[in-house]
């Protein structure tokens, strides 16, 4: 009965909350596209998040072959709706006249145990910073092959960084968001047009001078390796590193090494800067199921989606064990991540915002997107959102998965 009820909800809600716009409105949105109109929640921003390929240049990341259908073994959906965090229920974010959650999928032991879609299930929605672990994974692969030594400085691999402040930063410090560069990122900093992260993001969408020159000329603020300080510029440097080492575009690398091997249901895409670089820190679009399939690659459920193991167990352990002690809570940057969970993470690693003592991994994206991986519980949860409410979805999901039997 619960299975039939949930299927009915999936079908009904997939066609709900889809705002049709006129041709004139669409053109107005395209003409008005910019960092502010894209970042801050509104109907216009939600349209961008689902239609970036109509607004800016993109690079496709293609699937290969026919996807293995994921089995459905639905649990009672009320177990998810009733997940609590700080005396509130997840149901408050899912349902009602204006739910903030667009779509969610939870997969355990390779089977979908819960899904709800308040937008069509096949919508290619922007991942926001959920995409950052893509760069972390690619660097981990190149590290495992001996192509990159993460203890070495960036200038070892990128000649343009010789004489730049970036050049002396070790790759591991970029991976773990402790590079010490003057590019810390949050909403207040993004509101400052003179901040380096703002200049970079404006350049990404053609609203400021050249993206590449802006990225490589960011100055340092402090010695690297001292404090966790979140920044999308770190991710952009990692994708540049991968492309330089492999002599391929980042889209090509990700397609060949991951997407085409992972049994995805559809193609995806990165947006491109005006000078042709992938906006790897967040402007990557796919449907929610394919985001779940990406997350599954980090668990024993990989065989439910892929024909070969893309992410070895040893690589997952390496990511879990690469947190640098003593740096996560040095800067105020950590407060948002620590406060969103019922228990504190031990740090960040390979572009994941949070690694927990039990080995679970979490990556969040702007305005409430989320990707949660529990290798121990063989479970993943992914979701798209249109805004953050009082509490981030991550707090509910951490508690729900942690309590799983």
Taking a C-beta distance cutoff of 8 angstroms, is the pair 284, 127 a contact? yes
Give residue 403's pLDDT band: very low, low, confident or very high (50, 70, 90): very high
Average the pLDDT over 65-92 and give the result: 95
pLDDT for residue 255? 98
pLDDT for residue 213? 97
Residue 13 has pLDDT above 50, yes or no: no
Give residue 11's pLDDT band: very low, low, confident or very high (50, 70, 90): very low
DSSP labels for 20-64?
---HHHHHHHHHT-SHHHHHS-SHHHHHHHH-GGGTS-EEEE---
Tally of CB atoms within 10 A around 29: 19
The rounded distance, in Å, linking the Cα atoms of 242 and 157 is: 9
The rounded distance, in Å, linking the Cα atoms of 278 and 136 is: 15
DSSP state of 162: T
| Selected residue with higher pLDDT from 120 and 97 | 120
- What is the end-to-end Cα distance of the chain in Å, rounded? 22
Structure confidence by residue, pLDDT tens digits, 116-131: 999 999 999 999 999 9
Give residue 43's pLDDT band: very low, low, confident or very high (50, 70, 90): very high
Structure confidence by residue, pLDDT tens digits, 129-158: 999 999 999 999 999 999 999 999 999 999
Provide the angle, in degrees to the nearest 10, between the axes of the packed helices 23-31 and 43-50.
90
Residue 18 has pLDDT above 90, yes or no: no
Taking a C-beta distance cutoff of 8 angstroms, is the pair 189, 196 a contact? no
What average pLDDT is seen over the chain? 93
Residue 385 has pLDDT above 60, yes or no: yes
pLDDT for residue 19? 60
pLDDT for residue 170? 98
Taking a C-beta distance cutoff of 8 angstroms, is the pair 349, 176 a contact? yes
358-376 CB burial, b ≥16 within 10 A, e <16: ebbbbbbbbbbbbbbbbbb
pTM over 0.75: yes
Structure confidence by residue, pLDDT tens digits, 195-252: 999 999 999 999 888 999 999 999 999 999 999 999 999 999 999 999 999 999 999 9
Residue 15 has pLDDT above 60, yes or no: no
The rounded distance, in Å, linking the Cα atoms of 253 and 269 is: 13
The rounded distance, in Å, linking the Cα atoms of 102 and 387 is: 9
The rounded distance, in Å, linking the Cα atoms of 269 and 314 is: 28
Give residue 10's pLDDT band: very low, low, confident or very high (50, 70, 90): very low
pLDDT for residue 219? 98
Residue 160 has pLDDT above 60, yes or no: yes
Q: How far from the centroid of its chain's Cα atoms is residue 378's Cα?
A: 19
* Strands, E assignment, 268-329: 268-271, 284-286
Statement: 2-134+246-402 belongs to CATH 3.40.50.720: no
Taking a C-beta distance cutoff of 8 angstroms, is the pair 253, 138 a contact? yes
Average the pLDDT over 93-114 and give the result: 94
Residue 82 has pLDDT above 90, yes or no: yes
Structure confidence by residue, pLDDT tens digits, 291-336: 999 999 999 999 999 999 999 999 999 999 999 999 999 988 778 7
The rounded distance, in Å, linking the Cα atoms of 102 and 17 is: 9
Please state which of the ranges 16-25, 109-118, 298-307 shows the lowest mean pLDDT. Answer: 16-25
Taking a C-beta distance cutoff of 8 angstroms, is the pair 235, 139 a contact? no
Please state which of the ranges 182-196, 229-243, 277-291 shows the lowest mean pLDDT. Answer: 182-196
| Selected residue with higher pLDDT from 1 and 345 | 345
> 303 in helix, strand or coil?
helix
Q: What share of the chain is helix, strand, coil (3-state, %, to 5)?
A: 40, 15, 45
Residue 16 has pLDDT above 80, yes or no: no
From 353, 354, 369, 376, select the one nearest 301 (Cα to Cα). 376
Q: How far from the centroid of its chain's Cα atoms is residue 2's Cα?
A: 31
252: phi then psi, degrees, rounded to nearest 5: -65, -45
């Amino acid at each position: 009965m619960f299975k039939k009820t949930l299927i009915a909800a999936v079908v009904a809600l997939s066609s709900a909350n889809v705002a049709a716009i006129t041709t004139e409105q669409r053109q107005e949105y395209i003409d008005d596209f910019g960092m502010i109109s894209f970042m801050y929640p509104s109907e216009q921003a939600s349209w961008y998040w689902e239609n970036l390929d109509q607004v800016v240049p993109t690079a496709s990341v293609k699937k290969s072959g026919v996807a293995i259908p994921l089995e459905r073994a639905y649990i009672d959906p009320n177990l998810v709706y009733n997940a609590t965090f700080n005396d509130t229920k997840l149901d408050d974010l899912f349902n009602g006249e204006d739910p903030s959650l667009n779509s969610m999928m939870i997969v355990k032991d390779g089977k979908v145990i819960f899904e709800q879609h308040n937008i069509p299930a096949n919508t290619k929605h922007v991942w926001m910073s959920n995409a950052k672990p893509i760069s972390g994974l690619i660097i981990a692969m190149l590290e495992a092959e001996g192509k990159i030594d993460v203890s070495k400085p960036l200038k070892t691999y990128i000649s343009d960084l010789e004489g730049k402040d970036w050049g002396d930063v070790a790759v591991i410090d970029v991976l773990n968001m402790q590079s010490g560069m003057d590019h810390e990122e949050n909403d207040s900093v993004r509101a400052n047009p003179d901040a380096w992260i703002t200049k970079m993001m404006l350049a990404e969408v053609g609203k400021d001078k050249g993206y590449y020159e802006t990225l490589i000329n960011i100055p340092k603020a402090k010695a690297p390796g001292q404090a966790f300080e979140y920044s999308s510029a770190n991710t952009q440097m990692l994708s540049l590193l991968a492309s330089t080492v492999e002599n391929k575009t980042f889209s090509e690398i990700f397609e060949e090494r991951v997407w085409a091997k992972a049994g995805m249901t559809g193609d995806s895409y990165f947006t491109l800067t005006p000078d042709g670089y992938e906006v790897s820190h967040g402007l990557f679009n796919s449907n929610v199921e394919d985001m779940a399939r990406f997350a599954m690659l980090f668990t024993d459920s990989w065989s439910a989606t892929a024909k070969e193991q893309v992410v070895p167990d040893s690589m997952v352990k390496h990511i879990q064990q690469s947190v640098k002690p003593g740096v996560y809570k040095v800067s105020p940057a950590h407060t948002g991540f620590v406060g969103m969970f019922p228990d504190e993470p031990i740090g960040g690693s390979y572009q994941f915002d949070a690694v927990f003592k039990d080995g679970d991994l979490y990556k969040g994206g702007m305005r409430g997107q989320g990707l949660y991986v529990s290798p121990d519980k063989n479970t993943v949860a992914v979701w798209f959102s249109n805004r953050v409410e009082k509490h981030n979805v991550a707090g509910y999901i951490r508690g729900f998965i942690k309590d799983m039997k």
